[in-house]
């Protein structure tokens, strides 16, 4: 993020924009005019910034990537890697 200097001389910001922050932005229903309160989704009083179709497409893409990531971590190659690490530790 861009560093900002406050009126009292302190500087805030200037940190890297990480994956977690980006994921939070991409999943935030506020941008489609909705508000989540205590787990329930409500229509907000504000105008949406993006349309629901684009938001749904992004959520589908994120879900597909999450499945691919899980399969990659839990697939046969992950087991082979774990087995080779165990062999190395035993030897």
Do 35 and 3 sit in the same domain of this protein?
yes
The answer to whether the Cα torsion of 48, 51, 52, 55 is positive or negative is: negative
Residue 80: is its pLDDT beyond 90?
Answer: no
Please provide the DSSP assignment of 9-35 as one string.
S-EE------HHHHHHHHH-GGGGTEE
Is the pLDDT at 4 greater than 70? The verdict is: yes
pLDDT (tens digit per residue) in 40-71: 999 989 999 999 999 999 989 888 887 666 66
| Residues 42, 78 within the same domain | no
Q: What pLDDT is stored for residue 40 in this prediction?
A: 92
Q: Which residues contact 62 (CB under 8 A, 6 or more apart)?
A: 23, 26, 27
Judge if 37 and 19 occupy the same domain: yes
Residue 63 lies in domain? 51-91
What's the mean pLDDT when you consider all of the chain? 80
Domain count, the chain: 2
Residues 37, 53 contacting (CB under 8 angstroms) = no
Q: Are residues 38 and 55 in the same domain?
A: no
pTM for this model (two decimals): 0.57
Residue 85 has pLDDT above 60, yes or no: no
């Amino acid at each position: 993020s861009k560093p900002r200097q406050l009126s009292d001389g302190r500087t805030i910001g200037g940190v890297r924009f990480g994956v977690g922050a980006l994921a939070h932005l991409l999943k935030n229903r506020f941008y489609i005019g909705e508000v989540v309160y205590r787990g329930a989704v409500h229509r907000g009083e504000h105008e949406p910034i993006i349309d629901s179709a684009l938001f749904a497409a992004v959520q589908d893409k994120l879900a597909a990537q999450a499945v691919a990531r899980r399969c990659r971590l839990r697939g046969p190659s992950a087991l082979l890697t774990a087995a080779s690490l165990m062999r190395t530790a035993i030897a």
